[in-house]
Amino acid sequence: MVKLRAKCVLAGDPTVGKSALAHVFRSESAHFPKNYTLTTGVEVFVNPVPIPDTSDSVELFLFDSSGKEIFYDMVESQWELAGAVCLVYDITNETSFNSCTKWLERARAQAPSNQLVGVLVGNKTDLACRRTVEYTQAQEWAASQGLEYCETSAKEMENCDAPFQSLARAFHRMYQEKSEHIQSIV
Ligand code: GDP
Ligand code: MG
């Protein structure tokens, strides 16, 4: 039984629904609610995510920033590294999708030695009638970046645990690959 911890940064343009997702994530772990406000504008939500078919779990520390200084705050904070990034855009807002390239670059620049797992989230599926970014377009870009893709509606609380389960599984996989590598060299 392995218990891992991963720091996950929520990134994306303003108003795409990052905070809404973070709050849904928290409410799903009502038996284990923890919520810290670190510095002004940075909230941390903690949620243990069990890994299917194992007795392992990954405790996700989800960092949500209201300001634009999110990556600056990451550097300033005492947290060593972000192991995961949750990129969020709004499916009715193409600009917010295009910005994901920039957000991912910044997250990668802060993550030491390429040890970063990520997921792309297309939020606001309840507004599908106003969709401007096609599912396959987003999925193809995500795949080209090594990210999984999910669509959610934080408003309707639809599919909101999928991105966090995906991140926890990816982080767990990375941990297993690393420990296999270490075993192979000793
Ligand atoms: P943030 O700036 O990325 O943290 O975005 P917020 O979580 O503050 O959300 C911005 C606005 O979008 C708010 O008015 C939310 O109520 C709304 N919103 C968030 N998620 C959804 C969603 O899934 N569907 C709809 N229709 N609105 C949403
Ligand atoms: Mg916010």
Write the CATH number for 46: 3.40.50.300
| Cα–Cα distance for residue pair 135/151, rounded to 1 Å | 8
Give the total number of structural domains in the chain.
Answer: 1
* Ligand minimally distant from the alpha carbon of residue 128: 1
Question: Does any ligand 1 atom lie closer than 6 A to the CB of residue 96?
Answer: no
16 C-alpha to center of ligand 2: Å? Answer: 8
> Residue 81: what pLDDT?
61
Length of the chain: 186
Residue among 9, 10, 15 to mutate when testing ligand 1 (max atoms within 8 A of CB): 15
Each residue's pLDDT, cut to its tens digit, for the chain (186 residues) gives 889 998 888 999 999 999 999 988 876 554 444 555 555 567 788 888 999 999 999 999 888 876 555 445 444 453 346 689 999 999 999 999 999 999 998 888 877 666 789 999 999 999 999 999 999 999 999 999 999 999 999 999 999 999 999 999 999 999 988 888 777 776
Domain region containing 50: 3-185
Question: Does any ligand 1 atom lie closer than 6 A to the CB of residue 65?
Answer: no
Residues with CB in 5 Å of ion ligand 2:
18-19, 66
Report the nearest atom of ligand 1 relative to the CA of 22.
7
| Cα–Cα distance for residue pair 164/141, rounded to 1 Å | 19
